[in-house]
Amino acid sequence: MFGRRGDRERREPVLGTPGFDGDLRLSADDRPTLPPAAPDRARSRKAAKALPPPRVSRRRHDEWEEAEEAEWEDEPRVARTSRNRRQDEERVRERGRSSGRRRPPRRGLIGRLVYWGVVLGLWGAIGLAGLIFYEASQLPPIQNLAIPERPPTVIIQGADGQAIATRGEMGGTNVPLRALPPYLPQAFVAIEDRRFYSHFGLDPLGLARAVVVNLTRGRVREGGSTLTQQLAKNLFLTQERTLSRKVQELILSIWLETKYTKNEILELYMNRVYFGAGAYGVEAAAQRYFGKSARQVTLSEAAMLAGLVKSPSALAPTRNLEGAQARAEVVLAAMQEAGFITPEMRQTALNRPATVAKAQGPDSYGYVADWVLDQVKTLVGPVTQDLVVQTTIDPAVQTAADKALKDALAKSGKKLGVEQGALVVMDTVGGVRALVGGRSYEESQYNRAVTARRQPGSAFKPFVYLTAMERGLTPESVRADAPIQLKGWKPENFSRDYRGAVELKTALALSLNTVAVRLALEVGPDEVVKTAHRLGINSKLEPNASIALGTSEVSVLEMASAYAPFANGGVGVTPHVIERVRDRSGAILYTYAEAGRGMVMAPPHVAMMNRMMQDVLITGTARRADLPGWPAAGKTGTSQDYRDAWFVGYTGRFITSVWLGNDDSSPTRKAGGSGLPVEIWSQVMKAAHKDQPVVALPGTAVPVSAGGGQLPPGDVPEEPVVTGGPSRAPAAPRPGLDNWLLDKLFGSG
């Protein structure tokens, strides 16, 4: 006997004990008492179902199980297995009834959603990691990344040192953050990235807020990009809206945050972001909209600048001032909410909203800037750094020239069928003081003063007459004004009548065509071409009889430079507009040092030509010229069919060349050189000579002012004054010095 089970004992046979007769079977007394078996198990099962389940303790239930196991120990294996299976089933049912528990129900809808949400989230995370890894592999190696150099800016200054234009991709210089008023960078942080100083390049809270706002309002109202992300996009990526670009932007943002300080990132951002109207960077924007440096902007102006980056093209104050001001109010509210400004500061800024400053100069500065930039590349090579270029341009004269051309075309252009014009004002040593390449730079950037070539008409005749003077003729020499025919070509005078024998000074003053053609044939067209080239014409000229009437095409700039020797006493000039070029540190890279091209005309011939061309303004075709107190000379020109109208006139200080016509060379409605071009010339030259001491024309004994006036008796004209510093050519001497001194001063011509 090994133990007890309840109050029953299990007896085992023991061999070798007294009374053991070798029979191993248990007697009836040794067997446990078992409950009577149910006669019909199915019927018993139905009865059990009909009766309420008995309340049986867990312990008692286990004792019954042990008793059953003992009862059937001696049954055959198959019987025990079948019976055990049935008992297991009964036991499960009994446990269910006794404990009152049921099988757990199937997972509901919410459970399934949670399950699949977790599964999909895991796969999404894996996919996102793979996408980030792939996009990172498309970028240059992190160790090789570097902030791209800011494209160089060329600041173009006038003769007075004031900036008149800028050129370059960014259009403005880089400004250190410490040089700006503190509320300017604060405005960008307040409106664009409130948590700029606390996030790591990505702002989850800002992104979540933007998503909520956009979803609730049904359209995109806010962006979730940080200042760092915007900078990464501007520096390294394109503006396309793709998932690939967004992932790369995030990667680069984190790199920027690890590489640079917050202030360095903010400084880079403010100097690279686009503000509309072609202005990149806060300095260019401040100059463009307010006419001042970003170092000097007010609080209201700072708020407007910060507000522009949301939509620079739509909010640019030059086209949408009300929208820019409304956006600035939003920025001011954000600055107060962020604690950057006080309510009083905000109210003061609201009371004085920012406005667009009046343009600092005419749009014709664009023609000057383009021409300057082309020459800079020739003089100092490719532009790879910020440069400051000081020019010979006089802002006052440039403004007057631009206004004169625009006013004339607005007043009479339509009536005369003239759509375009150009002019150049040059000093007597070749420095360009004003240049207007068309009526509107915004409408057309084609520079008609430098690039265009047009027939000068009778304005070319002085080169013919000079060639004749150099071959022994004088202004008093007589030639026939009579019909002439050359192989079917019959040049005629404008009046269609003929004067017979006339002096050359009269023929030039009245612009008689027949006399000019006879002189060209007399001296030879080849010689006329040589004379024109010697004086400063660079264009190709055809050496034929019609050259006398200006049938070969030249530029407005060339005509001004070729007339300069008449104004300065015979010295050839090289037209130039650049005085010096400096780099960002102030080091001089180039200085104009042209000493002149030497004498291209003898003083006696200068005197003859000046006396004859003075008569053009006194009694000839340019009688409308109006420059009181100043002796002046020049020549009008009108090409065939009135396609081009010219006047090139000069004093002892300045030469101005004016052209009017149409870009397609279509005829005008009889717009001649003696009309509108002379009026424009008079207006421009009055501005150029304002407050200047009077200078006589070289070789003129009796100075006569344009318009018929004379200088007061006994008033001795001054020697021509050379301006612009020692880099310019020396002034031409007065007539009367001997040839030896001329050669010493100017070299042989």
Contact call for residues 251 and 135 (beta carbons, < 8 A):
yes
Q: Is 511 helix (H, G, I), strand (E, B) or coil?
A: coil
Residue 388's beta-bridge partner residues?
155, 582
In the chain, the N- to C-terminal Cα span, in Å, equals 150
Q: How far apart are CA 718 and CA 715, in angstroms?
A: 9
DSSP 54-107: P---HHHHHHHHHHHHHHTTTS-HHHHHHHHHHHHHHHHHHHHHHH---PPPPP
SS (H, E, C) 139-187: CCCHHHCCCCCCCCCEEEECCCCCEEEEECCCCCCCCCHHHCCCHHHHH
Catalytic residue, from 225, 300, 364, 458: name it: 458
Q: Phi, psi (5° rounding) for residue 193?
A: -165, 80
Query: Does 264 participate in catalysis according to the annotation?
Result: no
Q: In Å, how far are 13, 25, 32, 79, 666 from 20, measured between CA atoms?
A: 9, 11, 21, 32, 149
Residue 623 CB partners (closer than 8 Å, separation 6+): 617, 674
Query: Does 444 participate in catalysis according to the annotation?
Result: no
User: And the tokens for 400?
Assistant: 């007057």
Q: How far apart are CA 706 and CA 16, in angstroms?
A: 163
Catalytic residue, from 192, 257, 301, 527: name it: 192
Contact call for residues 465 and 504 (beta carbons, < 8 A):
yes
Residue 651 CB partners (closer than 8 Å, separation 6+): 567, 627, 630, 631, 632, 685, 689, 695, 697, 706
44 membership: H or E segment, kind and range: helix 41-50
Contact call for residues 735 and 701 (beta carbons, < 8 A):
no
User: And the tokens for 260?
Assistant: 């640079």
E strands of 261-413, at which residues?
A: 387-391
Q: Residue 649: name the closest of 657, 641, 638, 637 by CA.
A: 657
Active site residues: 192, 458
